[in-house]
Structures are given as structure tokens and as C-alpha cells.
Structure 1
Amino acid sequence: MTPTLLALALGLFSAITLALANLSVKMGGDILVSRSILQLSASLLTLPAIFIVPFPDEATWRALAIAVPMHFAYQLALISALKHGDLSLVFPIMRGGAPLLTGILAWFVLGETLPALAIGGLIIATIAVIWFALPADGMRIDAHPDGKALFFALLTAAGIAAYNVTDAAGVRIAPSPFTFIVWLFVFDCVGITPLAIWRRREQYLPLLKEKWRYGVAGGALSILSYGAALYAFSLIEAARVSAIRETSVVFAALFGALILKEGLGARRIAAAFILAAGLALLQFTR
């Protein structure tokens, strides 16, 4: 297999595992507890790697001090989005909304020019996100049943865009990119797990015993997804990997419709394909 084909296969694997990780959290029932178990599992699974990667220097600790709270804020928004809305609705908006928001802000605020194909991709992706957000036929906008879910999905998208910036800075200043990544995974549970224990109190241990499989599966899938993407970045251009990874929105819509039996399946699957196509155009033409 050539490096390009391997990178594309890894990007596709990363997309599927990313969608599956969020599916496992949604299937866990209690989103807060499931997410806390996911983060704790990812931290424990990553912990042995701290003895392999170079130790963080002072600059890396400062970067982690910014990145960890940023990830915690993103996790809070994500939990609220999954709590209030279907996976097939909120996942495509929050994952597709992050590069979409970045592209729109860079175009209007920073004055960055985009090629014609990228502008076309931006328009296509925007239409797809609006299509996702529209209520069922015959329902008024002000009576939209998913208003909270859409708000938190967009907030999650903003969180993804924000932590992408902090993570990019962290991996660049660390002694090794893997130093920052490993220690970020290790510390990623320090906010959400204590919060879940405090919020659920007596319920936490019974829920942990009942739902731990979903959280552990999600933690392992998160590491596999991120690891596959990182290795693919070393083989081909990052934009091409990012574009193929955006197909995670399609898999999330499919999983929501076929596994969770969520409503409006056909419309959301079609919108997910259109969104992935728009984001791919936006990535490939940068």
C-alpha cells in the first residue's frame, strides 16, 4: 500500500472511530457519566506513554494550563448537545460547524481570500448546516423542539475551533508533539470526572458499574481516532486528511438513524453527505 492510500485509509478509520466514540457516549444513557468514563479511560490508557515521550518543559506546561480548561469547556458544551439532541443532528453540526465557523470568520473578519472552489464549498456546507437545523415539515421555527440542542451544538463547534488553536500551539512548542498529546490526554479527565462524581453523588458508582463498557469503548476509540489522524498527517498534507476525516458527520448520521432509530434519518443522512462534500472542497482548495 502506498503512503497516500495508507493515509486516506487512516483518515477514514479516524472518521469512523470518532463517530463511534460519540455513539458510545450517547448509548450510555447518562451523558455526563458516560463522558466522564470516556475521559478517565482515555487518561488511564495513555498514562504509560508518559514514560516514553520526552518530559514537558516549562513552555509545554503553560500550554497545557490553557488547553486543559479549554477542553473542559468543550466537553461541557458537548454533553449538553448530546443530552438535548439526537446524535444524527448535533454531531454533524458541531463537527462540521468548527471548520465552517473558522472559514467564515477568516473570510469576513480577517479578510482572507479563498479560491472559487473553497467559496463554493463554504456555501454548500452552510446550506447543509441550515438544512440540519430546520424543524420538521409544517413546524414553525419558534416552536422548534431542538432549539437547545442546536445552541449547544454550535457552542461545541466554537469550542472545537478554540481548542484546535490551543492544541496546535501546544504541539509546536513541546519537546515532541507526542509530549503535548500524551499529557493532554492524561489531564483531560481532571475537570469532567470530578464534576460527574459531584453531580451524581450516590448514583455515580451504580451508573459506573452499569455503563462502564460504553465509556471505556469511547475512550479507546477516541485514542485510536486521534492516533490514526496524527499518523496520517505525517504521510500526506494535513488538509487532505482533515477532508476525509470530515466524513465522520456521515457516519454519525447513519449510526443515529440505523442504530439509535432517530427521526428524520433520510434527510439528515442526505444533509451529512452534502456537508461532507462542502467541507472537503473547503479543505482541498486551501
Structure 2
Amino acid sequence: MGEQSLAIALGLISALTLALANMAVKRGHDILVARAILSGSAAVVIAPFALIVPFPDSATWAALAWSVPAHFAYQLCLIRAMQRGDLSLVFPIMRGVAPLLTAGFAMLVLREHLSVIGWLGLLVATGAVILFVLPARGVTFAAHPDKVALCWAFATAVGIALYNMADARGVRLAPGPFTYIVWLFMLDAVPITTTALLFRRRELGRAVRATWRHGAAAGALSSISFGSALYAFSLMEVAKVSALRETSVVWAALMGNRFLGEGFGARRIVAALMLAAGLVLLQFG
């Protein structure tokens, strides 16, 4: 298999496992604890490889110093979004808005210009986001039941845009891509686990017993998802890998409707398909 084909396969695997990992967290009884178990499990799985990969150099440590706080901010916003809203609503918003923010930043600040295909993708993806945000028929925006969840989902998207930029740089600066992947996973677990210990001290044992299966499954899936994406970054352009990975919005909409019993299934699935198509056009345009 050539590098391009391998990168495409890794991007698609990353998309499916990303949606599965977030569904596992959402099904947990305590989302903060489930997220902490996810990160801790991923760190335990990855840790032995620290003995094999080259040790991080100063450039890698500097990249990690930017990336770890960005990942922590993203996780805090993600937890709040998951606590307040359906997976099939907040996940596509957080994953879909991040590339739109990146494109807007490139146009306004870096003076980059989109092609006709890129503009079409931007319009389609933006329309899909609006379709997600619209309340049910007959409900005003003032009475929107998901206002708070949507705000947290948009904040999560900002975190995703920040860590994507940091990680794309870090994986290229490291002595090898696996060096960055391994150390990011190990360090990423520290802030969120500490937070769970601080805020769930009294009920932590009960929460862990109720949630550990979902958290551990999510941790294994997260390791596969993010590791696949980071390695794909070293084989193919970041924009193309990101476009493939964002097809996870379709999987999340389907899983939310099928396995979590979430409402507005048909509308959200159509919007997710539109969003994925728009993101692919945007990235490749």
C-alpha cells in the first residue's frame, strides 16, 4: 500500500473510531470521569512505547507545551457540551465548525483565497451547521432547549482548531511522528485526571465503578483514532487528513439516533451528510 492510500485508510479509521469513542463517553454515567478514564486508559496503553521511540528533543517539548493546554481546554468544553446536549447535535457542531474557523482565519488574517470549490464547500458546510442549530418547528431561538449545549459545542470547536494546528506542527518537528504521539497521549491524561480527582473526590469510586467500561473502551478507541490521524499527518497534507477525519460527523449522527435514542434523527443525519460533503470540498478546494 502506497503512502497516499495508507493515509486515506488511516483518516477513515480515525473518523469511525473517533465517533465510537465519543459515543462511549456519552453513554457513561459521569462524563467527566469517563473522559478521565478515556485519557488514562489511552496513556496506559501508549506508555510502553515511550521505551521504544526516540526521546523528545527541545522542539518537541516546546510543541507539547502548546498542545497539552489546548487539549485540556478542548476536553473541558467537550465535557460540558456532552453533559448538556445530544451526541448527534454537539459532536457535528464541534467537529464541523473547527475547519470553518480555520478557513476563516486563513482568509481574514493570512489573506489566503479559496477556490470556487472551496467556497462551495464553505457554503454547504455553513448551511449544514445552521440546519443543526435551528430549533424544532414552532420553537423560537429564545426558547431553544439546546442553547447552552450549542455554546459549549462552539467553544469545543475553537479548542479543536487550536490543538490541530499545534499537533500538525509538533508531529513534524519531533524526531519521529511516534515520539510526539506517545508523549502527547501520556501528558494529555494528567490535567483531566487531576480535574476528576479534584471535583469527584467523594463519589469517584462509585463513578469509576459505573463508568470504567465505557471509559476504557473509549480510551482504546481514542488511541486508535488520534494515533491514526497524527501518523497520517506525516504521510499526507493536513487538510486532506482533516477532511477525511471530519466524516466522523456522519457516524456520530447515525450512532446518536440508533444507539442513544436521540431525537431529530433524520434531520441531523441529512445535516451531517451535508456537513461532511462541505468539509471535504472545503479542504480539497
Same fold (TM over 0.5): yes
- Measure, in 2, the Cα distance between the counterparts of 1:232 and 1:200: 36
Alignment of 1:1-286 (within 5 A): 4-233=4-233, 235-285=235-285
> Structure 1, residues 66-113: CA drift from partner, whole Å, max 9, x if none?
221121111101101111110000000100111011112222333211
**Deviates most, 267-276 or 104-113:** 104-113
- Report the CA distance between 1:234 and its aligned residue: 5.0
- The 3-state SS of whatever aligns with 1:201 is coil
**Deviates most, 209-218 or 167-176:** 167-176
- Report the CA distance between 1:2 and its aligned residue: 6.0
- Report the CA distance between 1:236 and its aligned residue: 4.6
- Report the CA distance between 1:198 and its aligned residue: 1.5
- Measure, in 2, the Cα distance between the counterparts of 1:190 and 1:167: 18
- Measure, in 1, the Cα distance between the counterparts of 2:171 and 2:12: 23
Structure 1 spans left out of the alignment, 5+ residues: none
Identity of aligned residues (%): 60
Q: Which amino acid aligns with 2:220?
A: A
- Measure, in 2, the Cα distance between the counterparts of 1:176 and 1:4: 19
**Deviates most, 21-30 or 3-12:** 3-12
> Structure 1, residues 116-173: CA drift from partner, whole Å, max 9, x if none?
0100100110010011011111101111111111111010000010111222232232
- Measure, in 1, the Cα distance between the counterparts of 2:233 and 2:195: 34
- Report the CA distance between 1:231 and its aligned residue: 4.2
- Report the CA distance between 1:246 and its aligned residue: 1.5
- Measure, in 2, the Cα distance between the counterparts of 1:112 and 1:62: 27
**Deviates most, 132-141 or 99-108:** 99-108
- Measure, in 2, the Cα distance between the counterparts of 1:197 and 1:221: 23
Q: 1:265 to 1:191 in 2, by over 3 A?
A: same
Q: Is the 8 A contact 2:78 2:156 kept in 1?
A: yes
Q: Which amino acid aligns with 2:174?
A: A
- Report the CA distance between 1:243 and its aligned residue: 2.0
Q: 1:112 to 1:271 in 2, by over 3 A?
A: same
**Deviates most, 63-72 or 216-225:** 63-72
- Report the CA distance between 1:225 and its aligned residue: 1.0
- Measure, in 1, the Cα distance between the counterparts of 2:76 and 2:99: 20
- Measure, in 2, the Cα distance between the counterparts of 1:188 and 1:237: 24
Q: 1:238 to 1:164 in 2, by over 3 A?
A: closer
Q: 1:210 to 1:255 in 2, by over 3 A?
A: same
Task: Give the superposed CA RMSD.
Answer: 1.6
Aligned length: 285
Q: Is the 8 A contact 2:64 2:170 kept in 1?
A: yes
Q: 1:94 to 1:111 in 2, by over 3 A?
A: same
**Deviates most, 96-105 or 268-277:** 96-105
**Deviates most, 239-248 or 159-168:** 239-248
- Report the CA distance between 1:237 and its aligned residue: 4.3
Q: 1:240 to 1:70 in 2, by over 3 A?
A: closer
> Structure 1, residues 253-272: CA drift from partner, whole Å, max 9, x if none?
00001100101010000000
- Report the CA distance between 1:230 and its aligned residue: 3.7
- Measure, in 2, the Cα distance between the counterparts of 1:166 and 1:238: 12
- Measure, in 1, the Cα distance between the counterparts of 2:52 and 2:188: 19
**Deviates most, 56-65 or 251-260:** 56-65
**Deviates most, 267-276 or 218-227:** 218-227
